[in-house]
A and B are shown apart, each in its own frame.
Chain A
């Protein structure tokens, strides 16, 4: 069975597929999960009934089963449902679900039959499930038989009769940098989650070939001693890419869907170039004050610049006020979240910005435990890839042999994953910098 609940546990959408459930199963979920503040697992099994839930905004997307179901498939399906809903009505929240519930039922029935996921390609779905009602006439019948062939065909993601005046293809390489750095500046973990987003506006059924850096190593263990090569630990492709060919000859060839899609996802952990370096110094002065000095260094070419840089610097829970001094950007203390938000609209490559602040603390009788969250940095750098990945070519072959224009953009960003840990220096912590423990970090 499939449900959508709101925050209060009211059922917004319910669709039962098998005979073994009654609607009352929804109440069980409400009692066990929605009104339970301490839910520690996304799957809950009560008796022989398992509830899989995913939270999105103020909604619960829930799948229920009595069998030994494929858990990964269920969650992938829930997320697919969310992304389909997003592309149909912009955002997924209680209001949009309520306003579009008939459409959602139509969608659910199309993407899932008897508990088996069916076609979930947004582009194809949009051809026959629309927000306007379709009238089934004799003419429409021909059209829909075309649709159905597409929905089940070998290239279920593309219609055959696409035409454009101008044939264009846009390739966006978007990299998200994950970083966690210890307070002493040691990189604990740095890797890049990249994805290549493509917008293809190409006529006919074009055959595309895609080429990345010359010195690209895709399987770590195949490396033949090249040190400056870009190494991808793993990559995954949209279903249009012929996996067999990639496996045998490392070529990426495909017939693209029409419009926007994610061609490829990859991961890289070696030779990651960190665009921003953060050097924090945090000192606890007695029990009443904490002083901060945070320096941001942009370590990329000075022709480029980082934009929308936002640092979130955590403060202790008993902070009363923070006095900040910044040379560039704006810094503000947000008491509700216990952070100082420092926004810098633009940092040129090679530039350095510094933030100094003092936080005043109230004296509390019980010393509350401060989890010392890490400093979190969000930013975007255009035309820069942290992994060093470059798109070398994109070739388009089509029967009519038209000329096509291709565009490539690069973007490296971080949001919520670029973290630098803080350990305030106090007497208690001096013990922690035991030389034996440090030796491996050098």
Chain B
């Protein structure tokens, strides 16, 4: 834009009107300027003209001019200086609304040049007799800190804020707490670790605690959230104090604002750790349930946030809502994201008492239209079957009915789920197999195909025409996806081991195709190993391929215990909604392994940090266990490389793996097979494993797993190379 604006066009007209002698016309022009500003037109050229209208008796006009200033102060810092006088004058206006307005706006200007002029008026406002001005000034300190921290510290504003916690007005207290917390987070999130003597650190003493507890019952709903958040950060001295906090916070459950309720839940969950009296804990949990359920009648977005948090709470306290499953039944017009979350919670709440109602509900959902939701419902049926042994048969019946509908995606999902049920209850529901095989031709998704092939391979001795069925896939071997190829390979070998006389040809064919024409190294490697095994020692082949598999189970938690504790401390925040630690999405967008490690020791609330390293490894274990759940079953019995053998037999996952290792009779083969498994597992982890799982815990493990995986290939490389060398 040229220095002199052209003498025509919209901006010129506006500038004429802004300088008009009539007040109405000027005001109208300001409104139009703001309107253009909102749609994104550049009206910064009018800055001097707008500025002239700043000094006015009309409050509305003043606000509009201020709004304009806030938007363009950054681009026109020299001109803003002109406005300073008016601001300072306004900050001494007899009208408290004007005083507050001036302070609020000055804080939002964000121009370096004006900041220095801000300190004096701010100093005055912090001591203003009017609480409205004081509460605005308190937040202004936070704004200033955001811009120029030194200035806040030098002027002693922090000390003043600390004094203001004892203010007689609850709203001022709430805003002061909000400001101090804001400054605290800004100071601690800096790359340089903040020294403990840093005045910006907001330490809550028991003295402050009492003031906060008093203010809590009197301030506005948003103030309550700020105070509750501060209470959550407090470390109680002893169990008496924890009890006291809990008792004072519990009434907030009855607040109409959902965010207050969730903030109260957070405080209780944190301070309950310190409560020793069992009956009080029970009582607190009991009082927590109804308000959580009530949140389900809020607008869908709030409902969703609540559901995500309920999911977390249930992982910690599975008894929380044990009798309330019905309220989680989906309504027809719930948005999809709410339905999916409800589904997950319903499975969590499933027990022998309510499983019938749950199943009839899930069956209903499976006939809805949204493909995604239908699939998830079917998956939920499978999870229920695995979770509750007594209900498995009923689940299988429901699945059979669903397969009877012959809707393509329903059938495919049901087949995948059936595979899991077979894993959990081997040789129990063999009667189902003919029905599954009848749908062979309808399957077109790799996962469904792979599942069916696995089932056929597993029960090859009971299926008369297994060789025919597998033959179909052997014929189209090259066109199939790797997942299906791997499964076909294993299934055919299983078939051969079980019925050697009838399947000699098939196995020869598949091994030749896999080693010669296949371009996936995984498939080729596996084929070579099988071939070698079969040609040297069929007994060993049997031990490896037909080895006993550890039964699968539904993990009770989707995140590691340490992470769960951390997330419970952040209830209703984004982190708790995503079930991920905040570092993964705040800051530079992504988190590297080193920053996780760095974060580990200096976590503010690090009573768990000692366990943390250990726990993340366990999380990794669980993730691997989960991978097995969805991954190619043939890999399941692998003693998972190095990681598994080193780590804690105390965790069930590790125990499984360890027992798997010792059960294996051929120790020398284990090392080869283990190596193979790790290589395959590594591929799975990077590729299909993650998206197949879609479990939030997967977000953490990759970073922590990386070291264990990166070491194993080194040791594994050798045998593999040797093997390849043989051919």
Residues of A with Cβ closer than 8 Å to B? 10-14, 17-19, 23, 40-43, 45, 47-48, 50, 52, 54, 65-73, 75-79, 101-102, 105-106, 109, 113-114, 116-121, 128, 133-138, 140-141, 144-145, 147-149, 151-154, 156, 178, 180, 182, 188-189, 191, 193, 219-221, 233-239, 241-244, 246-247, 262, 265, 267, 269, 369, 371-374, 416-417, 419, 421, 428, 431-432, 434, 436-437, 440-441
9 A-B residue pairs with CB within 8 Å: A14-B38, A47-B589, A71-B305, A72-B262, A73-B222, A136-B59, A141-B95, A246-B251, A431-B404
A247-B291 Cα distance, complex, nearest whole Å: 14
Partner pick for A118 among B94, B185, B222, CB 8 A cutoff: B222
User: Per-position contact with A for B247-283: 1 when CB-CB < 8 Å, else 0?
Assistant: 0001110111111011100000000000000000000
**Contact call B250/A247, Cβ cutoff below 8 A:** yes
Q: Residue B599 at the A interface, CB < 8 A?
A: no
- Bound Cα distance from A244 to B255, whole angstroms: 11
Which among B131, B217, B363 is the interface contact of A244 at CB below 8 angstroms?
B217
CB < 8 Å neighbour of B61 from A101, A133, A149, A437: A133
User: Which of the four size classes fits the interface of chain B?
Assistant: 35 or more
Whether A188 pairs with B262 at a CB distance below 8 angstroms is: no
Does B470 count as interface, using CB distance less than 8 angstroms? no
Q: Min CB distance, B293 to chain A, in Å?
A: 7
Give the residues in chain A near B404, CB-CB below 8 Å. 428, 431
Q: How far is the CA of A416 from the CA of B297 in the complex (A)?
A: 13
CB <8 Å contact, B226 and A436: no
Shortest CB-to-CB span from B132 to chain A, Å, is 3
List, in ascending order, chain B residues with CB within 8 A of A220's CB.
290
> Which of chain B's residues have a CB closer than 8 A to the CB of A117?
222
One of B98, B142, B226, B587 near A114 (C-beta < 8 A):
B142
Cα distance A191–B296 in the bound complex, in angstroms? 12
**Residues B301 and A148 in contact, CB atoms below 8 Å apart:** no
Contact call B95/A136, Cβ cutoff below 8 A:
yes
Closest to A193 in B: B297
Query: What is the CA–CA distance of A378 and B666 in the complex, to the nearest angstrom?
Result: 70
CB atoms of A441 and B294 under 8 A apart: no
In the A-B complex, the 5 residue pairs with the closest CB atoms: A148-B132, A234-B290, A243-B251, A68-B582, A73-B259
Complex CA–CA separation, A257 to B713 (angstroms): 71
Q: Are A428 and B405 CB-contacts (below 8 A) given A70-B225, A152-B169?
A: yes
Q: Check if A50 sits within 8 Å of B574, measured CB to CB.
A: yes
Is B96 a contact partner of A144 (Cβ separation < 8 A)?
yes
- Contact between chains at B368 and A42 (CB < 8 Å): no
Check if B126 is an interface residue, CB within 8 A of chain A.
no
Shortest CB distance A225–B (Å): 18
Residues on B with C-beta less than 8 A from A189 are 326-327, 329
Question: What chain B residues lie within 8 Å of A243 (beta carbons)?
Answer: 217, 251-252, 254-255
Contact A153-B95, Cβ < 8 Å, known A120-B222, A188-B357: no
A11-B39, A68-B582 are contacts. A138–B59 as well, Cβ < 8 Å? no
**Are A75 and B299 also in contact (CB < 8 A) when A138-B94, A434-B397, A437-B360 are?**
yes
The residue among A42, A178, A428 with the most chain B CB atoms within 10 A of its own CB is A42
Inter-chain contacts of A151 with B (CB < 8 A): 132, 171
Q: A42-B304, A151-B132 are in contact. Are A137 and B57 (CB under 8 A)?
A: yes
Known contacts A118-B135, A141-B95, A148-B130; can you find 17 more A-B pairs with CB under 8 A?
A54-B301, A72-B305, A73-B222, A79-B299, A109-B63, A114-B107, A134-B58, A135-B59, A145-B130, A148-B96, A148-B133, A149-B130, A152-B169, A180-B329, A182-B360, A219-B286, A243-B255
Instruction: List the interface of chain B (C-beta within 8 A of A).
Output: 31, 34-35, 38-40, 57-64, 67, 93-98, 100, 104, 107-108, 110, 130-133, 135-136, 139, 142-143, 146-147, 169-172, 175, 178, 182, 185, 217-218, 220-222, 225-226, 229, 250-252, 254-259, 261-263, 286-287, 290-291, 293-294, 297, 299-302, 304-306, 309, 326-327, 329, 331-333, 336-337, 356-357, 359-361, 363-364, 367-369, 394, 397-398, 401, 404-405, 407, 570, 572-578, 582, 585-589
- Indicate whether A134 sits within 8 Å of B220 (C-beta atoms), given known contacts A18-B146, A148-B133: no
CB neighbours of A419 from chain B (8 A): 331-332
A42 contacts B407, CB within 8 Å? no
Q: Which residues of B contact A120 (CB under 8 A)?
A: 220-222
Chain A neighbourhood of B336, CB < 8 A: 40
Within 8 Å by CB of B40, from A11, A72, A114, A149, lies: A11
Asked whether, in the complex, the Cβ of B286 is within 8 Å of the Cβ of A221, the reply is yes
Residues of A within 8 A of B182 (CB): 114
CA distance A72 to B331 in the complex (A): 22
Known: A18-B146, A101-B38. A68 touches B586 (CB 8 A): yes
A441 and B131 contacting across the interface, CB-CB below 8 Å: no
In the bound complex, residues from chain B placing their C-beta under 8 Å from that of A48 are 585-589
Q: Is the CB of B302 within 8 A of A72?
A: yes
Known: A70-B259, A144-B97, A371-B369. A116 touches B397 (CB 8 A): no
Contacts of A246 in B (CB 8 A): 251, 254
Cα A310 to Cα B8 with chains together (Å) = 59
Closest-CB distance, A411 to chain B (whole angstroms): 17
In the complex with contacts A76-B302, A102-B60, A267-B290, A431-B401 CB distance below 8 A: yes
- Bound Cα distance A147, B182 (Å): 28
Give B80 Cβ to nearest chain A Cβ, in Å. Answer: 16
Specify which of A68, A77, A121, A267 is in contact with B297 (CB 8 Å cutoff). Answer: A267
Contacting pair A136 B131 (CB below 8 A): no
Contact B331–A417 (Cβ < 8 Å): yes
CA distance A87 to B107 in the complex (A): 30
What separation, in Å, do the CA atoms of A268 and B121 have in the docked complex?
Answer: 53
Which chain B residues border A431 with CB–CB below 8 Å?
401, 404
Contacting residues, chain B, for A247 (C-beta < 8 A): 250-251, 254
A11-B38 contact given A71-B305, A72-B306, CB 8 Å threshold: yes
CA distance A106 to B31 in the complex (A): 12
A42 closest partner in B (C-beta): B301
Chain A residues with CB under 8 A of B31 = 102
The reply to whether B361 and A188 contact each other, CB–CB distance below 8 Å, is yes
Would B104 and A113 count as touching, CB distance under 8 A? yes
Instruction: Report the Cα distance A145→B129, complex, angstroms.
Output: 10
Contact B570 A68 (CB under 8 A): yes
**Are A41 and B337 in contact, with the CB atoms below 8 A?**
yes
**B301, A75: Cβ atoms closer than 8 Å:** yes
How many angstroms between the C-alpha atoms of A19 and B58 in the bound complex? Answer: 29
Would A237 and B262 be within 8 Å (CB), given that A189-B326, A432-B401 are in contact? no
Specify which chain A residues have a CB less than 8 angstroms from the CB of B39 in the assembled complex. Answer: 10-11
Most A CB within 10 A of own CB, among B39, B95, B172, B404:
B95
Chain A residues near B333: list those with CB within 8 A.
416
Closest to A264 in B: B256
CB atoms of B255 and A134 under 8 A apart: no
Assembled-state Cα–Cα distance A133/B57 (Å): 10
Q: Shortest beta-carbon distance, B266 to chain A, in Å?
A: 10
